[in-house]
Chains A and B, each alone.
Chain A
């Protein structure tokens, strides 16, 4: 048994949240190649500006460098990684094996996801797995940590992997009435923190949080509101109409439209910082998760404008 001083995993993210800091996490999309320098370049924009960095697991079902491998590189660069794991590509055997390895390599935060369907990616002809769903994955990881057992029930003889367990929530997907309950199921299964889908419709997110509050579970997990900058009018329109489970209000698209093209990126960053300040006021929100995939260089400006600097030491 590892001494975690009363912490579940003892990661920096967990310690900051437990201490009551308003946290900021970032996101890094691994390259579609074996090129380490891409990660080093992106990491430079995130270091010191966020408390932990999510590394996506073949997001949108496009083949990329493995989340765990990139996590190891980030550790070497002095950045705390949050590895992501989807249920699309691995069965419970492969998942547990990877989790043992990831913990041994020093990863401490894990985000458990269903995964984008392979039809969105570059291998739509692939077979998908979905041996477990995301809630069953959370349950498995929690039992590995707290009960020291594999999914089958066999005891883990020796060091168990102790992850700070994250899950996703999408307040903008349907059926809206069920979404707070689905979040509650994830918390009951063992999620310690939740990161949401990108929030542009703040009133709807506030309503969602109110309903989560009504379930009496706000103290049982840490809510990190998902935010991200819109780079251009085209990006705003695309997200508003083409991305399943995403909601961008007309006013925001209009605001981007009224902004001269060369100023749109700047405006997108400003909007993001404003949204951070708005969600921060919503009861139960303990931090933000900033998703600036393929635009990592925007993160320093976002956290600066949102008044989140300097990041605490712990």
Chain B
């Protein structure tokens, strides 16, 4: 899923300073399950902002709504009346939802209330970890299902660097070394042969480096 975190309240207040009537627009998909921008977080932030702006002597009118998926026009359309009524929209979706809103309602500015952090997995209650960089050319078949592009701090493709010790990454002792995980997994699977092959330089064109990516599926187009 896309994992995000709410921006600090001070930053949000400063973005909203020029506006009086604000719609906080949540999203019911990824950011709801990572507790960053669903209906509950919209309600909490709305209360915080009402209180904070009243204390600051500049009370704002805060509207609230949450749509199923802010990255799709048809869901945002359901909130169109509130969107038009507000001076500004504060999106509690990921960066995709926020951009969709700006594109769909060009006369209205939609501001980001979240920092979109990564594509990840909830590994335990209250903990999310990055798992994918969307490099566009998946190599999990070579690495025992553990991605070194996303999980190695140096995105190494041929084994661990010299900083791997006691199973952890030199960059952060709380992060397991991705290559230790890969080694252990391939050993358990009896596939260490995969690590002996030299992986050649990666073609990064399928990644962000090739420019903005786009998929066109002719079989699905109308």
Contact = CB atoms under 8 A, between A and B. Distances in A.
A140 B196 CA distance: 18
B201 A178 contact: no
Nearest to B184: A175
Interface string A124-151: 0000101111111001100000000001
Contact of A133 (B157, B165, B180): B157
B183 A114 contact: no
B99 interface: no
A117 B171 contact: yes
A119 interface: yes
Interface stretch (A27-35, A181-189, A302-310): A181-189
Interface stretch (B3-11, B16-24, B77-85, B148-156): B148-156
Given A131-B204, A140-B201, A181-B195, A244 B170 contact: yes
Interface size class for chain A?
35 or more
Contacts of A131: 201, 204
A108 to B, nearest CB: 24
Given A130-B155, A178-B195, A114 B162 contact: yes
Which secondary structure dominates chain B's binding surface? loop
B167 interface: yes
Given A173-B165, A178-B160, A130 B154 contact: yes
B36 interface: no
A88 B170 CA distance: 15
B198 interface: yes
Contact of B196 (A139, A173, A185): A185
Contact of B163 (A92, A117, A175): A117
A139 B155 contact: no
A139 B165 CA distance: 26
Contacts, number: 97
Contacts of B167: 174
Contacts of B200: 136, 139
Given A139-B200, A173-B164, A175-B160, A128 B154 contact: yes
A245 B201 contact: no
Given A114-B156, A117-B170, A174-B166, 15 more contacts: A87-B154, A114-B154, A114-B161, A114-B162, A116-B163, A133-B154, A133-B157, A134-B161, A135-B158, A174-B160, A174-B164, A175-B183, A185-B198, A244-B165, A244-B170
Interface of B: 153-167, 170-171, 177, 180, 183-184, 195-196, 198-201, 204
21 contacts: A87-B154, A88-B154, A115-B154, A131-B204, A132-B201, A133-B156, A135-B158, A136-B199, A169-B162, A170-B162, A173-B160, A173-B162, A174-B166, A174-B180, A175-B180, A175-B183, A178-B183, A182-B160, A188-B198, A245-B164, A245-B170
